[in-house]
Structure 1
């Protein structure tokens, strides 16, 4: 069985939590796009883990984790992340972590370019809100054919790879010295860096697509892990304030290296309220007062897993979420962090956007979204702790009514509800996985 877990909003919906639970019965978990520009947070009895590159299944000893073809991989960051995980007692070996030979390497200069360009744009108030981790530049060079793939590290002494290294270094030095007045990099230093990475990662690099196809042919369960959400998709998101890869479930098998496959299930993950890290239109933050938003931010611990930046927050946005559901074509929906709303006397929900006296219930990422005013409806809160609820019937009436209202707005059943941060603090309703 092939299951894709994707975000239906701006990212940070709690996908790591869902993947961690699915990993209990999975054989492999695969990251299929993105890099270390976002993070998934998982809380276990061993502590709190923030994972940027490693799939959330790495916390399960019997799960094989894969960095897929569609990723851009910062190897220096990966080393640091692996060491941090190992310090907490998690074993990482070539048996349970496999790196696709087709995945793109995020080269050292990609971070430098990202920082320099974001600083330049910030001087004019035009910064994109980049995480400054070089993701856009790694993807740009991938499509310009001016970077390496992980499999190239296995062939560094061969003439074709060395010729490409010379070509890309020449081009990059022209960019960095000509545009940003940086000192040029040397070929010996670049080759030495590549050789160090090859020594460290060669045992992990393989044909992961064939490996996954064999697993699926044997009837095993593979989970595809997306980064970010539909609003950050390069094609369907709030361009240009997007990521540089496809966050859509339909891309999952392609980015995983198994393009001949189609997901059996797509789990779309939503938070019980709206959050956003980074720049771009975000109607939800215009719905309530700054004091209300700060209270919600503190209650939910809403700070970026990768950057630590305070997340922009607001009420659940049904307009954007309907669009996210359409993009992801999810047949299962997981709602996270319902417990964070427990202290509220009344809970706002955005049901439409208003401009010039006209109300719309549809979301168009090409529209001037900042020109709309959110239309807000209020439901009564439950004002009691729900973290101990393990069945739908145990939830307070007001909490059930809130979830049912969201279902009505989405025209889709919500089958999974998290009621706390711990692994066991959730409940299912209807037909789950």
Structure 2
């Protein structure tokens, strides 16, 4: 009898190829959108500098005016309440304030810190906020987090099945290098697709996993596990437990670990007692490096939150200061648990800030690779598709062979519940489609 192994590998290969094809069909359009917006967001600082230059560039003066005059000028000029203030690190830059209007709209206002002159305002976040909301799919509605998790899980399935398909199996050509030059036919595009996936697969998988802290199901489960194991945010000061700030009082710029965390301002807290000037004097006394963002809570019993704007997570520092200027807490990265450290580090690397320009351009390479994989996959499909048909790889017979796919897919479906649910739907649709085709086939 002949060795059954080659037959099994051939069937397993076809089964994996089929699911790789459908996974790409399902998520590559969304992944391309996320890769494009993610690549743009890597250059957030440069984009903000270009957009805000008309208002932010000022002439340095001898001394700042009272910070309370900044907020008064922004409130009148932009027509709302100041919710946070970004204090710049350069003397020739305006103070940037976020103003919430009575109708809920937010504006980014600019005030000259030397004479408190209102310089103008623009829509909150402007271009980079639109890029960020598009990247997270929040622009499509409140259920976007569910879609992000589904897409992320299927993206990992694409990477895993792609590595299975790339495995040489005694094939030497097109494994590490690309044969031919465009447009030399399907082998060239197959090699571009395979070799790009080989070199960029780990970066793409990293981007997918580190982009998941805010996902609906998986993110909540991991966050709960970190809290239960005591590996998240540090313990609150003995005098006050951590409070969860509602949307209006959510601290800005504090990162994933301290997101939504608030503290009581103290027994004598009253925002009318000292105001922003008192708080900034306390920040200066604590020698917090600029730039930093001060969140002004609507609830007068809560402390102000002051978050340092960082590039590397090791520099994380958040101060909680009462309106009387009293320091309620000074939270730093070395106080985080191992789970929180890992997540914040992952987010910083994901955003391309942790390791300087090399980090940024490595993440940019991953974003470009997603597009190259999508384009080469589309060209391959176009060249091989039967005329007038979708041209998906045929389903191989036998449950044993189809089980090869489940070995790859099931662990990811378990880790990402929404991906698992979508997998069940995909299997049902696949089964239904085969039954329909069988019934319609001529006898």
* Greater strand proportion: 1
TM-score (norm 1): 0.23
> Which protein shows a greater Rg?
2
* Greater helix proportion: 2
